[in-house]
Amino acid sequence: MSVLVYIDYVPATRQPRQESITIVDVAREIASKLGTDVEGVLVNSVVVATKMRDMKILPRIYNIRLKNVPEGTYIPTLFGDALVEFCKKRNIEVLLFPATQRCREIAPYVAAKLDTGLVADVAELYVDERKEVIAVKPSFGENILAHIYIPDRKPKMFTVRASARKTPPPQYEQCELVHEEVSVPDSGKIEYVKSGQVYDPDIDILPERHDIVIGVGAGLSKESIDLIKAIAKKLGIGVGATKKITDKGILSTKFLIGESGKIIRPRIYVALGISGAPQHMTGVKDYEMLIAVNVDDRAPILNYSTHFYKSDANELVRKIAELVLR
C-alpha cells in the first residue's frame, strides 16, 4: 500500500506548484501513521518530474507519459484517465491532491471513475486510532467542524487546501524517477490548440507569496484599499481580503483568505478593519504576530491578536500612505 501525492504544475513554465510541494509533509505524516510508503505522481512532464526528483522530498516519483500528447499539454480528461489507469494497477491507500484549480477539475473525475470517495477542500487530515484517515472541514459557517472519513473504498481521495509558503526539507538520499506510458483511448478525439501564460499585474502582492500580509476588511473604504495595494507593491508585501470585500468586487477572489478562499501562513498579519469572523480566520495559520486595527474593541479579532489598536483603520492607512508613497 502507499500514500500517493499528485504533483500539479504550471504547463507554461514547467514548475511544480508550491501547493503540491507543501502537502508532501501531510502525506509523509499520514504514511508514517499507516505504516505505508509515500510516493508522488504527475502526468506528462519529464521536466517537472526531474525537478521533483532533484528536490529529494519523496522517495519515488512517477511520471505518466501520454502517448501522442505533447510534453506538458494539459487536457483534463486525458490527465484524469491516465491517473485512473495508473491507480488501477496499484494498491493505493490514499491519494492526495492540492486544492488547485486544475486538481478541482481532475479529482472528482478520477474519483467517479474509480468508484471511490472524495472529500474536497480539506483544511486538515489526521489518522485516528482505527487507522482511518479523517478529513476536517468547517461547515455551517464555521460553527461546526465536520470530521469525515471514507469507509470501504480505495484509494481514499482528498483535495487539501495548503499554504503556498511552506516547503518540506529534503528527507531522502535519493529519489527514484519512474516513467510509465499510458495510451488513453479518447486522445484522438481531442485536438490540442495552444496554451500560454496570462500575465497577472497583481501577482507580486498575492497573499500566499509573502511572509508579511495586510488583510483588508469591511471597515476600510475602497479608497483605502487602493492605497493598501499601492503600499504593498512599494514595500514588497502581500494583500489579503475578507469575503465582504471580494463579494463587493472591490478586490478579486484571488485575494480572498478564509473558508472559501486561500490558506496562508504569514509571519506577520496586519488586519485592518477586519472583525475576525471564523470564516476568515480559518485561512490565517501559524502566524508569529497578528496586528489588528479596529474601531470596535469587542470585535472577535481581539481574540486572535498579539497586538490590538482601537482606531479608525482608514485614518491609519492615509498616514502610512503619506510616508510610503510620497
pLDDT over 70 at 165, yes or no: no
- Residue in 242, 249, 296, 297 with CA at minimum distance from that of residue 269: 242
Task: Give the pLDDT score at 75.
Answer: 84
Residues with Cβ within 8 Å of 101's Cβ and at least 6 positions away in sequence, in order, are none
How open is the CA angle 155-16-267, to the nearest 5 degrees? Answer: 100
Residue 216: which CATH number?
3.40.50.1220
Last residue of a domain, one of 163, 189, 215: 189
Asked whether residue 39 falls in the same domain as residue 75, the answer is: yes
Task: Give the pLDDT score at 205.
Answer: 95
State how far the Cα of 168 lies from the Cα of 22, in Å rounded to an integer: 7
Residue 289 lies in a domain: yes
Where does 161-277 have alpha helices with state H? 222-235, 243-247
Asked whether residue 151 falls in the same domain as residue 78, the answer is: yes
Last residue of a domain, one of 159, 189, 219: 189
322/138: higher pLDDT: 322
Asked if 126 and 134 count as a contact pair (C-beta separation under 8 A), the reply is: yes
Residue 198 lies in a domain: no
Where does the chain have alpha helices with state H? 18-22, 24-34, 46-55, 76-88, 101-114, 222-235, 243-247, 278-281, 313-324
With b for 16 or more beta-carbon neighbours within 10 A and e for fewer, the 252-284 pattern comes to eeebbbbbebbbbbbebbbbbbbbbbebbbbbb
Asked whether residue 140 falls in the same domain as residue 13, the answer is: yes
Asked whether residue 178 falls in the same domain as residue 221, the answer is: no
How open is the CA angle 39-98-270, to the nearest 5 degrees? Answer: 130
| Main-chain phi, psi angles of 97, to 5 degrees | -120, 145
- The number of folded domains in the chain is 2
Asked whether residue 243 falls in the same domain as residue 278, the answer is: yes
Residue 195 lies in a domain: no
pLDDT over 80 at 196, yes or no: no
Residue 196 lies in a domain: no
Task: Give the pLDDT score at 140.
Answer: 62
DSSP-assigned states of every residue in 282-313? TTB-S-SEEEEEES-TTSGGGGT-SEEEES-H
Read off the pLDDT of residues 215-274 as tens digits, 9 standing for 90 and up. 999 999 999 999 999 999 999 999 999 999 999 999 999 999 988 788 888 999 999 999
Residue 298 lies in a domain: yes
Asked whether residue 24 falls in the same domain as residue 105, the answer is: yes
Asked whether residue 210 falls in the same domain as residue 260, the answer is: yes
Asked whether residue 60 falls in the same domain as residue 181, the answer is: yes
Residue 135 lies in a domain: yes
Read off the pLDDT of residues 27-62 as tens digits, 9 standing for 90 and up. 999 999 999 999 999 999 999 999 999 999 999 999
| Domain that includes residue 161, residue range | 2-189
Which amino acid, 39?
Answer: E
Residue 258 lies in a domain: yes
Residue 37 lies in a domain: yes
C-alpha cell at 296: 470596535
Regarding beta strands 15-16 and 9-10, do their DSSP bridges make them parallel or antiparallel, or are they unpaired? antiparallel
Last residue of a domain, one of 164, 189, 214: 189
Asked if 8 and 100 count as a contact pair (C-beta separation under 8 A), the reply is: yes
Asked whether residue 48 falls in the same domain as residue 136, the answer is: yes
pLDDT over 70 at 84, yes or no: yes
